[in-house]
């Protein structure tokens, strides 16, 4: 394999930053949940940290999709098949369903029904037609994000359109990422990936700082972001329990 097709370390770096912010946000959330943090995590700086982590994570996922698509197209001269994205998206969606099951068991309220992993799983499948369509992805991103503004004000009695962005009356969840507007963020990443990495090649000059210690740590985390995402909350809760900051009765109904 030539250097041209090596993994883009800067993408792993961005993903590592995103997962670090997410772990930090969930640490503050857990402190709030167990009564050790008084500030409202649904507003202010803490809320912005959580949203910044989610935005970056989803945006970079869009860039990564274009890189994966372009890499196979350039190396094997074949267009990746749709079924590949169905399998990949379905796997991530199933991990999201595992989180749903866990939240149903352990949370008193705010059960996670369509969280980040549910969204990413579905969005990967829906992204396939846009992966080489620069203009279409940009237009669709703009329309999807704009559509999310009025959609937030619409409520219905049934939960069947929750995944789109139409919430049932009184709905509350600790992790909710509907397709509208968040699919627009992924489409922005797809557009950016096609602009900055045509044919899997950087269209810009970037100094290689990938061997710096702190960069290596973040890129290492970025390569394992899904694993960290799945494990960090159980680990944090276990630490709280072992150190006496929480007991099982605080989060088991």
Nearest-angstrom CA–CA distance, 70 and 245:
48
Reported pTM: 0.91
Q: Is the pLDDT of residue 252 over 60?
A: no
Nearest-angstrom CA–CA distance, 27 and 210:
28
Q: Of how many residues is the chain composed? A: 253
Angle between helix axes 9-33 and 213-223 (nearest 10 degrees) is 80
Q: Is the pLDDT of residue 3 over 70?
A: no
Count of beta carbons in the 10 Å neighbourhood of residue 57:
23
Taking alpha carbons only, the member of 206, 175, 224 closest to residue 18 is 224
Q: What is the pLDDT of residues 10-29, one digit of tens each?
A: 999 999 999 999 999 999 98
Taking alpha carbons only, the member of 180, 115, 172, 170 closest to residue 146 is 180
The percentage of residues in the chain with a pLDDT greater than 90, rounded to a whole number, is: 69
Q: Which two tokens stand for residue 6?
A: 């090596």
Q: What is the pLDDT of residues 42-74, one digit of tens each?
A: 778 889 999 999 999 999 999 999 999 999 988
Q: Is the pLDDT of residue 82 over 60?
A: yes
**What's the pLDDT score for residue 2?**
43
Q: Is the pLDDT of residue 250 over 70?
A: no
**What's the pLDDT score for residue 66?**
97
Q: What is the pLDDT of residues 161-212, one digit of tens each?
A: 999 999 998 888 889 999 999 999 999 999 999 999 999 999 999 999 999 9
Q: What is the pLDDT of residues 88-141, one digit of tens each?
A: 999 999 999 999 998 888 776 778 999 999 999 999 999 999 999 999 999 999
Residues sharing a CB contact under 8 Å with residue 74, sequence separation 6 or more, in sequence order:
5, 199, 200
Nearest-angstrom CA–CA distance, 182 and 180:
5
Count of beta carbons in the 10 Å neighbourhood of residue 209:
12
Look up tokens 């099982």; give the residue.
248
Taking alpha carbons only, the member of 153, 125, 155, 130 closest to residue 141 is 130
Contact 173, 115 (CB under 8 A): yes
Residue 61 φ/ψ region, left for φ over 0, alpha for ψ in the -120 to 50 degree band, beta for the rest: alpha
């Amino acid at each position: 394999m030539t250097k041209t097709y090596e993994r883009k370390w800067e993408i792993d770096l961005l993903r590592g930053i995103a997962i670090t912010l997410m772990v930090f946000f969930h640490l503050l959330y857990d402190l709030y949940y167990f009564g050790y943090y008084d500030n409202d995590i649904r507003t202010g700086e803490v809320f912005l940290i959580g949203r910044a982590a989610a935005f970056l994570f989803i945006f970079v996922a869009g860039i990564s999709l274009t890189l994966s698509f372009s890499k196979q197209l350039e190396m094997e001269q074949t267009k990746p098949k749709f079924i590949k994205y169905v399998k990949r998206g379905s796997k991530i969606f199933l991990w999201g369903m595992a989180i749903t099951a866990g939240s149903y068991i352990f949370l008193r309220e705010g059960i996670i029904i369509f969280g980040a992993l549910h969204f990413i799983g579905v969005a990967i499948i829906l992204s396939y037609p846009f992966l080489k369509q620069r203009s279409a992805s940009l237009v669709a991103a703009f329309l999807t994000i704009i559509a999310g503004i009025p959609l937030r004000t619409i409520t219905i009695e049934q939960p069947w359109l929750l995944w789109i962005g139409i919430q049932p009356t009184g709905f509350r969840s600790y992790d909710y990422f509907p397709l509208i507007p968040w699919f627009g963020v992924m489409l922005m990443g797809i557009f950016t990936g096609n602009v900055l990495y045509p044919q899997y090649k950087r269209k810009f000059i970037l100094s290689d700082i990938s061997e710096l210690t702190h960069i290596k740590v973040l890129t290492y985390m970025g390569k394992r972001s899904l694993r960290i995402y799945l494990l960090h909350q159980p680990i944090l809760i276990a630490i709280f329990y072992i150190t006496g900051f929480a007991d099982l009765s605080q989060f088991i109904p």
